[in-house]
Structure 1
Amino acid sequence: MRIPRIYHPEPLIVGQQTDLSEDAANHVGRVLRMGAGQALQLFDGSNHIFPAEIVQADKKRIRVAILRSEQEDRESPLHLHLGQVMSRGEKMEFTIQKSIELGVNIITPLFSERCGVRLDGERLEKKIHQWQKIAIAACEQCGRNRLPLIRPAMTLEAWCAEADDGVKLNLHPRASQSINTLPQPLSRVRLLIGPEGGLSADEIAMTTERQFTDILLGPRVLRTETTALTAITALQVRFGDLG
């Protein structure tokens, strides 16, 4: 049986015992039905893994002993910041999950003129919290030991105006450049993915003013979630750690 990987939100210390978080304890105790004496692999975002053993398990509490620490770096040499105009329902969840599996470091949900999502206040906070849980589960599944950052949602214009020393890319169906024509070496990318209806003419002009480079993925029109994952994969193959 594969040893379950569990994220712990606080720094782990070898030789000490600690209680798993409520979500993790529920998963380990109620879903996996694990008990005392069984092995877990924990990670706390420090790029280390911590083999551990369950020492106490009941309905409300899972307590583990931290046995040792091992550094295990599975991060790409390419730092990717994805600015994704929010899509409806499961599409956004799918984009977050898969982009993290592919090595994205930061995800910023964006509002644009043609954004189909209308969330604010408490509803938006709940959605961000849900996406953070998806990010944790994606790391547990794919083996990453650093937790990518899910930032608060912001407007497209504000995101484009942020200072960034990386290459700024915007997917555009009439662009003249492609990922294969970008110059090497390249270590940081800020990648903008628009909504299903695309960016407005004013928004495209604004990205040009902010020094974004328009790039083309190919001759076919892709859905927004397909566009994000295709672009991330192409960037990782050319500049990152996908072979």
Structure 2
Amino acid sequence: MSEHAKLREDICTLAKSMFDRGLTCGSSGNISARLSDGTVLVTPTGRAMGFLDPAQISHLDANFNFLSGDAPTKETPLHSAFYETRTGTGAVVHLHSTHSVALSMLPDTDPDNVLPPLTPYSIMRVGKVKLLPFFIPGDPAMGDAVRGLAGKRSAVLLANHGPVVAGKDLWAAVFAMEELEETAKLAMLTRGLQPAALPTDTIQQIVRKFDVDW
């Protein structure tokens, strides 16, 4: 199987896995992944992630111009901003996952780091997550907001909308996204219960050992 065909299959497999587990619903959520020739595969607009057809996935050139397939997600400018500002980005995942969205709407959520340091894996795989303001879906200004971070964050949370995560490859981006949502779930479940977060010195050890954006 060619790299191109394999990546199309992997996108559909992982998208269905996240859809089946309720991490995104309806026709929400989108995925992009870069091929070795610099071109990009992107999930089509208006399609449920649980029912994607590999043959219909959009193929864009290195500058995100349309090449073939169905029309790409309207959030393509959001994806392109991560590829432009973070060297080594191989995939981007955007979901409307429930607990992350809930966390984005609470008034005491830290806008510089929405996830409390509850587990080592949320730090290792996600790093600090910046809360961005609300944008109308598809607004290119979302991409501009990501560019404004100058590549310093691999994950952001769009207020009242959902998380976006960049990774070195498709699997890394998906795993980081799942870790983000699980940590948001933990944060919501333990809210007001004074959970024992990781101490600062432990966080710094993790950051140094795993070269985390922090």
Normalising to structure 1: TM-score of the pair? Answer: 0.28
Normalising to structure 2: TM-score of the pair? Answer: 0.30
Q: Which has the larger radius of gyration?
A: 1
Q: Answer 1 or 2: which has greater helix percent.
A: 2
